[in-house]
Amino acid sequence: MPRGPVAARAEDPPGFTVRGLSIGRPIEKYGYLQRFFQERAYGRLLAREIAAFNPDVMLGGTAAPDVQEAAVLTCRRLGIGFVFRAQDLNAVAIDRILRRKFPVIGAIIGARYVALERRLMQLSDAVVAITEDFLPVFAGWNIDKSRIHVIENWAPRDELPAQPRDNAWSALHDLTDKLVFLYSGTLGLKHNPEILLRLAEALNTRPEARLVVISEGLGADWLRARQVGHSNLMLLPYQPFERLPEVLASADVLLGILEPDAAAFSVPSKVLTYLCAGRPILAAMPADNLAARLLTRSGAGVVVPAGDTAGFIAAGQQLAADASRRATLAKNGLDYAAKTFDIRAIGDRFEAILARAARRN
């Protein structure tokens, strides 16, 4: 997904500011040694910023463990409350990736990251997880149960209003009269882009069908290298956030994928954004992942097992042929988002957790 707005807006409360930190060069996402040193450098910048601002409490999340370490230790040193937002189990993901790529040294480094993230959560005043699926891991890490809270992710419905199928973005890309399957977001180590390529091949039997992939990085590069001969496969870079409602509205079916071994440490947040668009969702991911369970219980999409390429293609063909079912799934998704993504209620829960963390210090 494209990056959301990161500048203060007119409707923001007085005193709200946004400051960006930069080490002066892009993070080497897949260069492990370079990335380590870059993240340590970024952590030092963050530590200085925390000390200068000296807040009552800090909410830290989605950062790499080495960055998060700088934040937690700085807050502990200065008596600042710290709430650890567990968006993913980063250390578990790092451990699995390194063990797979470098079996011996990778296991040693991976164990170091697991121990580090466990220690940082133990030092935090509260841990907010996005799914109960993380709780068994926290139990094994001896995280104080009284400090653990579960608040599932949500999408900003006011910033992602459902748009008409025919809009300026779909017209710009000649999609208004096409049957569009669309994937938007990261294609990294947790995703296998080959399943998208196989779906594009299967859709070749429908001249009106297009498979649009909006992504950058390893997976997008892999698809681009194989795009020749697939005239119905359209690859685009990330689009501006303000155009995202039009982008998603241009689809007849929205796509999500997740590899089997990523289910334990990751929940694809793109699914929540998709729900706001009012479009049916086709996903290939483990059935026990929270995103898959959400789609099943809300009736907003079709889920096939991760890696089930044949099942993914069959479900795609069925959705392509059944406009009535697509409409039903889309309505179910919009209804779920309207009932669940109540930002005031979610904000109240975070505010209570933050206030409690500040009082502890």
Domain extent listing, the chain: 32-154+342-360, 157-340
CB count, 10 Å around CB of 186? Answer: 18
Torsional sign, CA 56, 135, 265, 101: positive
User: Cα 110 vs. chain centroid, distance in angstroms?
Assistant: 22
pLDDT at position 270: 86
Pair 361, 125: CB distance under 8 Å: yes
**Token pair 């026990």: residue:** 288
Tens digit of each residue's pLDDT (9 = 90 or more) over 253-307: 999 998 876 656 667 788 999 999 999 999 999 888 889 999 999 999 999 999 8
Token pair of 13 as six digits: 């409360």
pLDDT at position 265: 60
Q: Which of 76, 14, 70 is nearest to 41 (CA)?
A: 70
32-154+342-360 has CATH 2.50.20.10 classification: no
Q: Which of 232, 244, 201 is nearest to 3 (CA)?
A: 244
CB count, 10 Å around CB of 132? Answer: 11
Query: H or E segment at 172?
Result: helix 168-172
Strand partners, 182: 212, 254
323-340 vs 309-321: helix axis angle to the nearest 10? 100
Pair 302, 282: CB distance under 8 Å: yes
Pair 91, 113: CB distance under 8 Å: yes
Token pair of 333 as six digits: 């998704």
Pair 267, 131: CB distance under 8 Å: yes
Q: In a 10 Å sphere around its CB, with 0-12 CB exposed, 13-18 middle and 19+ buried, how is residue 5 labelled?
A: exposed
Q: Which of 163, 60, 88, 153 is nearest to 343 (CA)?
A: 153
User: Cα 2 vs. chain centroid, distance in angstroms?
Assistant: 11
Read off the pTM.
0.86
**Token pair 């889920």: residue:** 303
| Alpha carbon separation from 19 to 25, 82, 228 (Å, rounded) | 17, 19, 43
CA separation for the pair 223, 210 (Å, rounded): 15
Q: In what order do the strands lie in the sheet with 301-304?
A: 233-236, 209-214, 179-184, 253-257, 281-284, 301-304
pLDDT at position 29: 78
Tens digit of each residue's pLDDT (9 = 90 or more) over 15-63: 888 888 999 998 887 787 899 999 999 999 999 999 999 999 999 987 8
pLDDT at position 239: 94
pLDDT at position 3: 60
What fold, for 157-340? Rossmann fold (3.40.50)
Token pair of 163 as six digits: 């748009």
Rg, C-alpha atoms of the chain? 21
pLDDT at position 314: 97
The identity of residue 206, as a single letter, is: R
pLDDT at position 217: 85
> Which residue ranges in the chain fall short of pLDDT 70?
1-5, 189, 261-266
CA separation for the pair 319, 332 (Å, rounded): 15
Pair 163, 249: CB distance under 8 Å: yes
For the chain, give the longest Cα–Cα distance. Answer: 64
**Token pair 């580090």: residue:** 116
